């Protein structure tokens, strides 16, 4: 079936370090891919998305490229800040016709230390 | 409103009680989704509405779970005869036509004792 696998956390980094959170997917078709972020005490927010192969989504210094050949959508940021500490969820949708329901990974906790 | 709102934010229920969780989507958002998020897990799809029509309820875990959106705006997720395994955060999301971006509410944290 359709699924998303992302690296387990927690990921602990020092401020200004480079971030990669790996995400791979299994899908029967060509999904749209998303990264959602959940800051402490807040609801899920869309961070970035890509709707077709080789598209790059970017927002707030974060980037992810839709790689069909490796079925991956890894999240990267060149220099993290303490304020980036949150749980990051990789997700896919668009495989079921009209519904557009999201299928999420288990989430990766990022902790950035000053 | 400015965003998706959900109420109550927290609910404690005794096993066997019925609960009702409310979602107010963003005005004009035709699509509405319910997800269940267990502790330490990603959200899992429960059900989907387009206006008042429930087009997909494949994720509802049992017939104790029921959702409605009678006027195509506010939605209610009802859980009958709650069990301990129903303890989770219940998330509501809405989406504008023609987009793929879902906007999430803060969730209702349900604890069944």
| pLDDT score of A97 | 66
Q: Say how many C-beta atoms besides its own lie within 10 A of residue A82's C-beta.
A: 11
Q: Do B55 and A100 make contact, defined as CB atoms within 8 angstroms?
A: no
| pLDDT score of A98 | 63
Mutate to test the interface with A, among B102, B108, B109 (most CBs of A within 10 A): B102
Contacts of B35 in chain A (CB under 8 A): 102
Q: Do B100 and A51 make contact, defined as CB atoms within 8 angstroms?
A: yes
Mean pLDDT throughout A96-113?
89
- Nearest residue, CB atoms, A101 vs list B42, B45, B101: B45
Q: Do A101 and B42 make contact, defined as CB atoms within 8 angstroms?
A: no
pLDDT at B106 over 70: yes
Q: Higher confidence at residue A1 or residue A88? A: A88
Nearest chain B residue to A101 by CA distance is: B45
Q: Give per-residue pLDDT as tens, A4-35.
A: 999 888 999 999 999 999 999 999 888 999 99
Q: Give per-residue pLDDT as tens, A57-94.
A: 999 999 999 999 999 999 999 999 999 999 999 999 97
Q: Give per-residue pLDDT as tens, B34-67.
A: 999 999 899 999 999 999 999 999 999 999 999 9
Q: Are B91 and A23 in contact (CB under 8 A)?
A: no
Q: Give per-residue pLDDT as tens, B69-84.
A: 999 999 999 999 999 9
Distance from the Cα of B35 to chain A's closest Cα (Å) equals 9
């Amino acid at each position: 079936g359709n699924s998303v696998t992302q690296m387990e956390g927690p990921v602990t980094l020092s401020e200004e370090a480079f971030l990669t959170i790996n995400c791979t997917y299994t899908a029967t078709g060509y999904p749209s891919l998303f990264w959602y972020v959940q800051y402490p005490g807040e609801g899920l927010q869309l961070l970035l998305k890509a709707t077709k192969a080789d598209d790059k989504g970017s927002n707030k210094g974060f980037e992810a490229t839709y790689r069909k050949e490796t079925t991956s959508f890894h999240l990267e940021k060149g220099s993290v800040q303490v304020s980036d500490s949150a749980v990051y969820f990789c997700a896919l949708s668009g495989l079921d016709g009209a519904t557009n329901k999201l299928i999420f990974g288990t989430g990766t906790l990022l902790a950035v230390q000053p | 409103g400015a965003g998706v709102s959900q109420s109550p934010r927290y609910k404690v229920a005794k096993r066997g009680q019925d609960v009702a969780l409310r979602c107010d989507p963003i005005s004009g958002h035709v699509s509405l989704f319910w997800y269940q998020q267990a502790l330490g897990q990603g959200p899992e799809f429960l059900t989907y509405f387009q206006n008042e029509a429930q087009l997909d309820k494949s994720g509802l875990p049992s017939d104790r779970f029921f959702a409605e959106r009678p006027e195509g705006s506010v939605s209610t997720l009802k859980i009958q005869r709650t069990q301990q395994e129903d303890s989770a955060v219940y998330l509501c999301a809405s989406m504008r036509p023609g987009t793929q971006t879902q906007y999430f509410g803060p969730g209702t944290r349900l604890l069944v004792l």
